[in-house]
Chain A
């Protein structure tokens, strides 16, 4: 079946440090890949997405590239800010998986950025 594995947290960085959160997936079909962010006390917000191999999703300085050969979708940001402190979820949606649009989530990675 489909699954998403992302790096365990928590991750603590200093402001302006480089961020990588690893995400790998297993899918039987042709998934789309997503990164969602959850700020404290809030719901999830879509951060970026990629719908086919070699696509790069980007938003707010974050980037992730859909790598089919390594089944990965790692999240990166060149210079994190305190305001980036949140929980980040990698997720996939399998177009032909039979349950329309259902997202399979990783367990989440908590990021804390210190000033």
Chain B
């Protein structure tokens, strides 16, 4: 099993450009999450999904959109990138059983200039 994979690993965008980050998991997990990691801030939840076709906002959702068209995939979109979105983005997945142990992908490092 590959676990959780993320595409791409690195990306540089100019302000105002758009892009989509792809997360895929092969563990048949119901729940999926997008986090961002910034120096000294730990990880903060952007959006999450509890099943195919459902999404919900996390702690820092502004400027991002998500979609969960297939159970195994969770997409994170930036419609108009801003320098404040320079960060490392992590995707995670978990079963719907308590305590919702999460498995993380390797991350995408995004720089917005």
Contact = CB atoms under 8 A, between A and B. Distances in A.
B105 to A, nearest CB: 5
Interface stretch (A13-21, A38-46, A74-82): A38-46
B77 interface: no
Interface in A69-115: 89, 93, 95, 99-103, 105-108
| Contact size range, A | 20 to 34
A111 B15 CA distance: 35
Among B31, B33, B99, B102, the most chain A Cβ lie within 10 Å of the Cβ of B99
Contacts of B92: 44, 103
A49 B58 CA distance: 23
A91 to B, nearest CB: 8
Given A43-B104, A44-B104, A99 B58 contact: yes
A51 B98 CA distance: 9
B94 interface: yes
Contact of B42 (A43, A100, A108): A108
Contacts of A45: 104
B16 to A, nearest CB: 29
Nearest to B31: A101
Interface of B: 4, 31, 33, 40-45, 48, 50, 56, 58, 90, 92, 94, 96, 98-107
18 contacts: A32-B99, A32-B100, A34-B101, A36-B104, A44-B43, A44-B92, A44-B104, A45-B104, A49-B99, A89-B42, A93-B100, A99-B45, A101-B94, A101-B99, A101-B102, A102-B33, A102-B58, A103-B45
Given A34-B101, A43-B4, A108-B42, 19 more contacts: A42-B106, A43-B104, A43-B105, A43-B107, A44-B104, A45-B104, A46-B102, A49-B101, A51-B99, A95-B98, A99-B48, A100-B48, A100-B96, A101-B33, A101-B102, A103-B45, A103-B102, A105-B42, A105-B44
